[in-house]
Structure 1
């Protein structure tokens, strides 16, 4: 599938999602209380990235995105996070099991600290994240991830739109209007899916070839690894359903 088709599929799906309604809903689920129960999301937001990354490509730089992916993989492998979404300067980690005795403050501080240290180490820049915990019911996981992709896509389109057309008016059109104009005038032609919609990280099982040291025979063993996906609605829904099957 070419980049134009991917962009149109993503835009067609996420244009229908109302971020204002979901922002109001999920902001009320950000917790300051001490104890939580899974599932929950830890959202890490970059602090002041736009001011600190002025030498990198605007509005999104592939090197920085790759650094965030690597940091998210480290967190997933360390704490067995079930899924992660990286978009813009934001990483959302889904947890379906208990860690640190379900203490919200401990969880958010440790996850954001590990994310910050990994990103700072790879870039050599003083970059860090704040962290917050959002409780979600199992049926809310998919809407939450769709919501964060929609917000990130809107921010990307808005940044491109105002960069290219700021002299022709200051108002911000709708998501669909921005997408159509940017695509029509060719500004999305070189834009890759990761820049537009981010990257979804999920666990997958695979067979690894090995040799039994006692017998010398070839054996195949099951292993898990983190896989990168474009966060289409289908991939988010399918990945979460598969997660529920494995855990159920």
Structure 2
């Protein structure tokens, strides 16, 4: 069942204007022959996933989601990203320090190759991603970008559930109305948070016992580790703490 926290986020997202944010962030996309500095978002979208994955569970399949999370982890380590947000068929990375000298063609080609290779291996079939770079004006705008992408992905999910209820009628009311209908009909009772709001991959810490290379004595050491949380709010909270 969708948690109360997730429902509050969903209700908030229905009040966000996605069309306005789409126009804004489309203007922030960087041409492939450019050089960019951080912070940036790298967005990877699955190419033709709806057709290629037609035999998987709709509208979300945990196997696909887990495959994208695994690919996102590899990307996060390779690019030293701040966070990764995975929802629907897309992977979003937020970077402050940009590798490859900021060369956009390198960022998009390498990220798309990594995502395609690891997702294909996980699911046992050839799958492809396209990639784009979005220039962000600070961590605050990175938070707005995540709200925008979660609004789009959650709306797609809610819309599919709504149209399943209405037997394919193509009249699409506002998101707030669709959410109210599917909640009233109990369509979120057996849904997990990640299905509607995606998952966040961020950096955590783990403590382990190591050996001091100088003294040879055992001591506690702290290492970074990747942590997965089934809620976009975790990504937003993480970035908010970084912003201070």
Normalising by structure 1, report the TM-score: 0.91
User: 2:62 — aligned with what?
Assistant: 62
Residue 13 in structure 1 maps to residue 51 in structure 2: no
> Unpaired runs of 5+ in structure 2?
none
For 1:114-166, what per-residue CA distance to the aligned partner results, in whole angstroms no more than 9, with x for missing partners? 11111011111111100000000113110000110010000000111112213
20-29 or 223-232: which moved more?
223-232
Q: Secondary structure at the residue paired with 2:133?
A: strand
Residue 150 in structure 1 maps to residue 151 in structure 2: yes
**How many residues of Structure 1 are paired with residues of Structure 2 in the alignment?**
242
For 1:100-124, what per-residue CA distance to the aligned partner results, in whole angstroms no more than 9, with x for missing partners? 1111111111111111111011111
Q: Secondary structure at the residue paired with 1:200?
A: strand
How far is the alpha carbon of 1:236 from its aligned partner? 3.3
How far is the alpha carbon of 1:182 from its aligned partner? 0.6
How far is the alpha carbon of 1:222 from its aligned partner? 1.2
CA RMSD of aligned residues (A): 1.8
Q: Secondary structure at the residue paired with 2:167?
A: helix
User: 1:25 — aligned with what?
Assistant: 24
Separation in structure 1 between the aligned mates of residue 211 and residue 35 of structure 2, nearest angstrom:
46
**Distance change (3 Å), C-alpha of 1:115 and 1:174:** same
User: 1:140 — aligned with what?
Assistant: 141
User: 2:166 — aligned with what?
Assistant: 165
Separation in structure 2 between the aligned mates of residue 19 and residue 113 of structure 1, nearest angstrom:
29
Separation in structure 1 between the aligned mates of residue 95 and residue 211 of structure 2, nearest angstrom:
35
Normalising by structure 2, report the TM-score: 0.93
Separation in structure 2 between the aligned mates of residue 174 and residue 241 of structure 1, nearest angstrom:
29
How far is the alpha carbon of 1:195 from its aligned partner? 0.5
How far is the alpha carbon of 1:11 from its aligned partner? 1.4
